[in-house]
Amino acid sequence: MADAGFEAFLWSITMQESGGNYRAVGPPTPYGRAYGRYQVLAPNVGPWTAKYYGKRLTPQQFLNNPAAQDAVVRGVLGGYYRKYGARGAAAMWYSGQPNPNKTYGNPPVYQYVNSVVSRMGSYRGQKIGVGASGGGGYTSGGPVKVALSREELMEQYGLSASLINSSKELRSLFNKAVAGSWSAARFQAALKNSKWWKNQSSTLRKYLTTKYTDPATWKQQQSAATYAVNQLAVAVGLGNQIKGGKASKLLKDAVYKKTALGWTDARIKDWMGTKVSVHSGGMWGEAGEAFDEMHEIAYLNGMKYSTSWYAKRAKDVVSGKTTMQNVEETIRRQAAARYAPYAEQIRAGQNVLDLAAPYIKSVAQLLELPESDVDLNEKLVYNAMSGGHGGANFPLWEFEKAVKNDPRWRKTNNARESMFTVAHKILQDFGVSY
């Protein structure tokens, strides 16, 4: 007994491709013309007729032989139908791939598939094969009820068993459609009025539909998204989130937000930026760059902050809540208050360490210290810069007197030579020379 589901599918293909015309010839394509009622491409005619008709035909011979056309299409499409179902078979016939949701082609694959599957519901027992009239003809009597399986009905409705079974509401709706012999159009209309449909964003609906109807494509999309989001994680300073080939929970969460909820990369970076932490006194990635830059600005302006202060602002920078410019302005504002005599220059962009260079050089020379070891943490320099020695532009000669009053100066060669010079001068004044 003929498979009514396949007969409905085959009839729909004939209507889609040629309207039932065995003599139809398609336009030129990169693969050659398509021939006959089912529009078989020229390169396939020879191999397929040899396999399913028992005789290798040329495209012209194939065009003139309806029996060969029927034999080929039942052999090829029958195999596709048994292996992939109606939607997959239609996609294979049109594109050479069984994925019915692809968007390439003109019309796109998914539109071709939807058209074929939707038309199956209009099948009325038309004869398919040699002896049928040009358009297939109708049998006498009313419409023939095609006993499609539940799986075939799912395909006709554009869903899969796993997607339908993933939701109690979808399962109930599908059972109602099966009991009432709903058309695909009626089922889709009811689906769009369901709570499931209304409660999901378009991005989430697409995510779920792809996951359950085309798992191979879904896995490819997830793999690509995992790689891309992991790069964002590394960039913001979270480090590699794939260990031993497995994604961390944080990375999985981020991938779901991107693919299912439609989050942009900027929003994901904002979210991941709040997860960045300090490692061995530092941070990684963009957060690490911000962390280090803040330390540098603070050091150059004689300011000190806690590790948590730097970490919080680094997170805020990479997550887009603030900018490095704003952080620098904060540091400079506080430095201007601390080194009030130089407030105007500091706010204008000059670094306190540069402004203190003459004092730093003097301390280094007089106390015989490496200049690199003297900075704004040196009490003598700090007092000079903060106004502790009488305000801005504290004369250098007065500053040097202050340095020589420091106990450390007495231990230097400078001090010993100075004292020797003074003693020598005193002895000379008393008429003693040596």
pLDDT in tens, 246-287: 888 888 888 888 888 788 887 787 678 767 776 666 667 777
User: What three-state secondary structure class fits 414?
Assistant: helix
Query: In the predicted model, what is the mean pLDDT of residues 128-149?
Result: 40
| C-alpha span between 125 and 5 (Å, rounded) | 11
Last residue within a domain, chosen from 307, 336, 353: 353
Residues 244 and 162 in one domain: no
Higher pLDDT pick, 243 / 424? 243
Q: pLDDT category, 293, cuts 50, 70, 90?
A: confident
Confidence (pLDDT) at 152 = 54
Q: Is residue 268 part of a domain?
A: no
- Amino acid (1-letter code) at residue 101: N
CB contact at 8 A, 282 and 276: no
Query: In the predicted model, what is the mean pLDDT of residues 40-53?
Result: 92
Q: Which long-range contacts (CB under 8 A, 24 or more apart) does 50-57 make?
A: 51/75, 52/76
| C-alpha span between 33 and 40 (Å, rounded) | 8
| C-alpha span between 358 and 346 (Å, rounded) | 16
State the chain's mean pLDDT as an integer: 80
| C-alpha span between 45 and 38 (Å, rounded) | 11
Query: Left (φ > 0), alpha (ψ -120 to 50) or beta: where does 112 sit?
Result: alpha
Residues 184 and 89 in one domain: no
41 pLDDT more than 60: yes
Confidence (pLDDT) at 143 = 35
231: its two tokens:
């790069």
Q: Is residue 13 part of a domain?
A: yes
Q: pLDDT category, 133, cuts 50, 70, 90?
A: very low
How far separated are the first and last CA of the chain, in Å rounded?
135
Residues 322 and 253 in one domain: no
Instruction: Specify the number of domains making up the chain.
Output: 5
Q: Is residue 148 part of a domain?
A: no
363 half-sphere exposure, CB direction, 13 A CA radius? 24
Q: Is residue 377 part of a domain?
A: yes
Confidence (pLDDT) at 351 = 92
144 pLDDT more than 70: no
Confidence (pLDDT) at 419 = 56
Q: Is residue 169 part of a domain?
A: yes
Q: Is residue 70 part of a domain?
A: yes
| Residue 242, H or E segment | strand 242-243
Residues 30 and 101 in one domain: yes
- Token pair 């299912």 is found at 260
Residues 337 and 364 in one domain: no
Confidence (pLDDT) at 253 = 84
Our CA dihedral for 129, 130, 134, 140, rounded to 10 degrees, sits at -70
Residues 76 and 101 in one domain: yes
pLDDT tens track for 326-385 = 999 999 999 999 998 899 999 999 999 888 888 888 888 888 888 777 888 888 888 888
Residues 115 and 8 in one domain: yes
- Amino acid (1-letter code) at residue 133: S
Q: Residue 84: which of 95, 99, 96 has the closest Cα?
A: 99
Q: Which domain holds residue 80?
A: 4-120
Q: Is residue 381 part of a domain?
A: yes
Judging by DSSP bridges, how do beta strands 40-41 and 34-35 pair with one another? antiparallel
383: number of Cβ within 10 Å: 16
Residues 414 and 361 in one domain: yes
CB contact set of 134 (below 8 Å; sequence gap of 6+): 19, 20, 21
Query: In the predicted model, what is the mean pLDDT of residues 39-59?
Result: 91
CB contact at 8 A, 306 and 267: no
Residues 300 and 324 in one domain: yes
Q: pLDDT category, 310, cuts 50, 70, 90?
A: confident
Q: Residue 84: which of 127, 124, 117, 128 has the closest Cα?
A: 117
392: its two tokens:
């801005």
Residues 26 and 51 in one domain: yes
DSSP 221-274: HHHHHHHHHHHHHHHHT----EETTEE-HHHHHHHHHHHTS---HHHHHHHHHT
Q: Is residue 102 part of a domain?
A: yes
Judging by DSSP bridges, how do beta strands 246-247 and 242-243 pair with one another? antiparallel
CB contact at 8 A, 160 and 212: yes
pLDDT tens track for 189-236 = 788 888 888 777 778 778 877 776 677 888 899 999 999 999 988 888
User: What three-state secondary structure class fits 51?
Assistant: helix
* Cα R_g (the chain), whole angstroms: 41
CB contact set of 11 (below 8 Å; sequence gap of 6+): 120, 123, 126, 128, 136
Q: Residue 200: which of 265, 158, 159, 261 has the closest Cα?
A: 261
135 pLDDT more than 70: no
